Amino acid sequence: MTDNQQTASAAAKTGAWSPFRHSAFAMLWTATLLSNVGTWMHDVGAGWLMTELSPSPLVVAAVQAATTLPIFLFALPAGALADIVDRRRLLITVNLMLGAVAAVLAFLVSQNAVTPTTLLLVTFVMGTGAAVMAPAWQAVVPQLVPKEELTSAVALNSMGINISRAIGPALAGFLIVAYGIATPFLLNAISVIGIVAALLWWRVPASRESKVPPESIIPAMISGVRYALHSAPLKSTLVRAAAFFVFGSAFWALLPLIARQVLAGDATLYGILLGCLGAGAVAGAILLPKIKGRLGPDGTIMFGTVGLAAVIVLMALVPNWYLAAVAAALAGVCWISVLSTLNVSAQTALPNWVRARGLSIFLMVFYGSMTIGSIMWGHLASHVGIPSALLAAAAGAIVAMLLTRNVKLNQSEEMDLAPAMHWPEPVITGDHEGERGPVMIQVPYEIAPEDRARFLDLMKDLAEARRRNGAFSWMLMEDLTVPNRFIETWREASWLHHLRHHERVTGADRLVQEEVWKLNRSGAQPLATHWGSAG
Domain presence at residue 109: yes
Tell me the CA distances in angstroms from 520 to 234, 474, 501, 514, 516, one per residue in order.
Answer: 31, 19, 23, 10, 7
Residue-wise pLDDT for 110-144, tens only, equals 998 888 888 888 888 988 898 889 888 888 888 88
Nearest Cα neighbor of 71 from 373, 370, 367 is: 367
**Tens-place pLDDT, residues 247-272:** 998 888 788 778 878 888 776 677 67
Residue range(s) defining the domain that contains residue 411: 218-415
Q: Domain holding 177: CATH number?
A: 1.20.1250.20
> What is the spatial distance between Cα 326 and Cα 332, in angstroms, rounded to a whole number?
10
Q: Which of 251, 242, 274, 277 is nearest to 372 (CA)?
A: 242
* Whether residues 276 and 298 fall in one domain: yes
- Let me know whether 39 and 140 are in one domain: yes
Question: Mean pLDDT across the chain, nearest whole number?
Answer: 85
Same domain, 165 and 283: no
**Residue 257 within any structural domain of the chain:** yes
Say how far apart CA 289 and CA 344 lie, in whole Å.
12
Count of beta carbons in the 10 Å neighbourhood of residue 167 = 17
Model pLDDT for residues 18-71, shown as the tens digit of each residue: 899 999 899 999 998 888 888 878 877 887 787 677 766 556 556 656 776 788
Residue 203 in domain: yes
Same domain, residue pair 232 and 205: no
- Do residue 115 and residue 183 come from a single domain? yes
Say whether both 207 and 225 belong to one domain.
no
Question: Is the Cα dihedral 41, 43, 47, 50 positive or negative?
Answer: positive
- How open is the CA angle 236-244-344, to the nearest 5 degrees? 50
Q: Where residue 500 sits, what CATH number does that domain have?
A: 3.30.70.100
Inter-residue contact 51 to 180 (CB < 8 Å): no
Whether residues 227 and 324 share a domain: the answer is yes
Residues 339 and 446 placed together within one structural domain of the fold: no
Q: Are 258 and 384 contained in the same domain?
A: yes
Rounded CA-CA distance 491/441 in Å is 6
Domain limit, last residue, from 214, 239, 259:
214
Q: Is residue 269 part of a domain?
A: yes
Residue 244 lies in a domain: yes
CA distance 397 to 76: 28
Decide if 257 contacts 393 (C-beta within 8 A): no
> If we measure between CA atoms, which residue out of 493, 500, 300, 527 comes closest to residue 405?
300
My answer on whether 116 and 92 are in the same domain is yes
Per-residue pLDDT of the chain (535 residues; tens, 9 = 90+): 444 444 444 444 567 788 999 998 999 999 988 888 888 788 778 877 876 777 665 565 566 567 767 887 888 999 999 988 888 999 999 999 999 999 999 999 999 888 888 888 888 898 889 888 988 888 888 888 887 888 788 878 877 877 787 777 777 777 887 888 888 899 999 999 999 999 999 887 776 666 777 788 898 999 999 999 999 999 999 999 999 999 998 888 788 778 878 888 776 677 678 778 878 888 888 888 888 889 999 999 999 999 999 999 998 888 888 898 999 999 989 998 998 899 889 988 999 889 999 999 998 898 888 878 878 888 888 888 889 989 999 999 999 999 999 999 888 877 888 888 777 776 666 555 566 778 999 999 999 999 999 999 999 999 999 999 989 999 999 999 988 999 999 999 888 888 889 888 999 999 999 999 999 987 778 888 988 877 6
Domain count, the chain: 3
Q: 12 lies in a domain?
A: no
Residues 12, 10: Cα–Cα separation, whole Å: 5
Residue 176 and residue 72 share a domain: yes
Q: Decide which of 214, 243, 259 is a domain's last residue.
A: 214
Q: Is there a single domain that holds both residue 289 and residue 400?
A: yes
Please tell me the distance from the alpha carbon of residue 362 to that of residue 224, in angstroms, as a whole number. 11
- Exposed e or buried b for every residue in 494-503, given b needs 16+ CB within 10 A? bbbbbbbbbb
Q: Flag whether 267 is in a domain.
A: yes
Using the 3D structure, point to which of 380, 415, 450 is the last residue of a domain.
Answer: 415
In a domain? residue 153: no
